[in-house]
């Protein structure tokens, strides 16, 4: 029996939220994104340091459900902020940057894990693990990138437009990869046909949901808005995100693809502003619970210098970080027919975040990535997130105009 009680749970949640905000603030004061601080808060409250966050029993089940609510809200919000027409308008440059920035890191990560001898063994299936490792290196964090660009006052620069466009396409590609990867984690065999089937379901769900939703949602929400009960729009939007997430999972796609699709659909309705305005406070409470939970699943003892394999683990994290950075930097040189500061775009694409962590978490839960590899990937995600903000700051300061071509 676990000694679960509601007051205990509430105290743990309060600690998670306060720690997330305090360390998020600290991260920002050091010029880093807040999400980094939230991850570190999780590591500290987790089993390997303070042991405050429960790891099994009813309490852990409830925190897991709240974290899933957090990630659904987060992807719903990203979907809401994604302008479909903008996505079609950003054109070839963003598409090329996105494609190279997804394919190259995946290939590098996969090749390193599948073909080059390394310190950590990775569970039963090497190919499967290599696919997961590659996948975690693909998706740029549109949230972090957009935040850094806006902090630097560069949101309207040519490079920012390309980066944001590419990061958004990246997110969609990442979500498709996620579904493939989730399907594999759930036991689908790794062959071309299987991958195509899973890919078909993911893309098919996204296309059907968005097409049907874009037609039906404006009509539905024009009815909803005529209701008088308080916050009816917000509650229906939230229920819509939950229902579409559950549907996505039921048809064999992923929970967060449904949440993203729900956001994408509602970004086109008349009541968009109200929904976005009101969902943010809700997301701001639950998203940190997700990041803190992810941080809490890191076993810091693996990095203890006196423990066997700690150095190997740091080595793997180092190599993955280098591969992750090279892959995205190279993406800056995609689309040679357009002129922009390529290094700025490359560095802007480097931060991994939410989606990479979700990949790693799925791999860990499915037993495909062991604790050590999960820890190394988390370090990699944190390092890429750590590198970009100061890098971009430097580059923008060094070449403030469009004079310098890199």
Does residue 322 bind its own copies (CB under 8 A)? no
Mark the segment that binds its own copies (CB under 8 A) among 61-69, 168-176, 310-318, 361-369. Answer: 61-69
CA distance 42 to 288: 9
CA distance 348 to 328: 9
Q: In the complex with its own copies, which residue's Cβ is closer, 165 or 258? A: 258
CA-CA-CA-CA dihedral for 383, 140, 208, 79, to nearest 10 = 90
CA distance 62 to 274: 29
> At closest approach, how far in Å is the CB of 75 from its own copies?
13
CA distance 51 to 47: 4
> At closest approach, how far in Å is the CB of 86 from its own copies?
23
Residues making up the chain, counted from first to last: 406
The gap from C-alpha 41 to its chain's centroid, in whole angstroms, comes to: 18
**Helix residue ranges, H only, 299-353:** 310-331, 342-348
* Residue 83: Cβ within 10 Å count: 14
Does residue 282 bind its own copies (CB under 8 A)? yes
Count of residues near its own copies by CB under 8 A:
52
Mark the segment that binds its own copies (CB under 8 A) among 65-73, 82-90, 97-105, 188-196. Answer: 65-73
* Interacting positions 229-248 with its own copies (CB under 8 A): 229-232, 234-236, 238-240, 242-243, 245-246
Mark the segment that binds its own copies (CB under 8 A) among 112-120, 279-287, 296-304, 381-389. Answer: 279-287
Does residue 305 bind its own copies (CB under 8 A)? no
Residue 216 CA neighbour count, 13 Å, CB half: 8
Q: In the complex with its own copies, which residue's Cβ is closer, 20 or 130? A: 20
Classify 118 as helix, strand or coil: coil
User: Which parts of this chain interact with its own copies (CB under 8 A)?
Assistant: 6-11, 13-15, 17-18, 20-21, 24-25, 28-29, 34, 58, 61-62, 64-65, 68, 72, 227-232, 234-236, 238-240, 242-243, 245-246, 249-250, 255, 278-282, 284-285, 288
């Amino acid at each position: 029996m676990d000694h679960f009680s509601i007051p205990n749970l509430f105290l743990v949640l309060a600690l998670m939220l306060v720690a997330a905000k305090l360390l998020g603030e600290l991260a920002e004061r050091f010029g880093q994104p807040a999400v980094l601080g939230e991850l570190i808060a999780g590591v500290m409250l987790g089993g390997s340091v303070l042991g405050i966050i429960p790891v099994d029993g009813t309490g852990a089940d409830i925190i897991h459900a709240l974290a899933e609510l957090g990630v659904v809200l987060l992807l719903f919000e990203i979907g809401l902020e994604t302008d479909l027409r903008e996505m079609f308008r950003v054109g070839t440059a963003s598409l090329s940057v996105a494609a190279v920035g997804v394919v190259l890191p995946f290939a590098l990560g996969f090749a390193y894990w599948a073909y080059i001898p390394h310190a950590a063994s990775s569970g039963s299936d090497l190919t499967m693990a290599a696919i997961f490792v590659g996948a975690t290196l693909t998706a740029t964090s549109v949230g972090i990138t957009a935040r850094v660009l806006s902090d630097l006052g560069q949101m309207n620069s040519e490079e920012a437009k390309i980066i944001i466009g590419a990061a958004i396409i990246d997110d969609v590609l990442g979500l498709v990869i996620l579904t493939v990867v989730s399907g594999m984690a759930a036991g689908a065999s790794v062959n071309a046909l299987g991958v195509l089937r899973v890919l078909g379901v993911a893309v098919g769900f996204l296309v059907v949901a968005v097409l049907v939703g874009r037609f039906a949602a404006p009509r539905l929400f024009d009815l909803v808005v005529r209701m008088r009960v308080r916050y009816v729009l917000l509650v229906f939007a939230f229920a819509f995100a939950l229902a579409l997430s559950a549907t996505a999972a039921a048809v064999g796609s992923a929970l967060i693809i449904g949440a993203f699709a729900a956001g994408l659909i509602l970004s086109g309705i008349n009541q968009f502003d109200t929904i976005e305005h009101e969902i943010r406070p809700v997301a701001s409470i639950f998203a940190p619970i997700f990041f803190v939970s992810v941080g809490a699943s890191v076993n810091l003892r693996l990095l203890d210098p006196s423990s066997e394999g700690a150095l190997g683990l740091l080595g793997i994290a180092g190599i993955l970080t280098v591969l992750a950075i090279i892959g995205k930097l190279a993406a800056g040189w995609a689309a040679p027919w357009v002129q922009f500061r390529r290094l700025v775009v490359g560095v802007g694409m480097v931060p991994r975040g939410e989606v990479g962590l979700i990949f790693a978490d799925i791999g860990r839960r499915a037993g495909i990535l062991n604790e050590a590899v999960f820890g190394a990937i988390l370090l990699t995600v944190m390092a890429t997130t750590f590198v970009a903000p100061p890098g971009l700051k430097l580059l923008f300061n060094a070449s403030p105009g469009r004079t310098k071509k890199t």
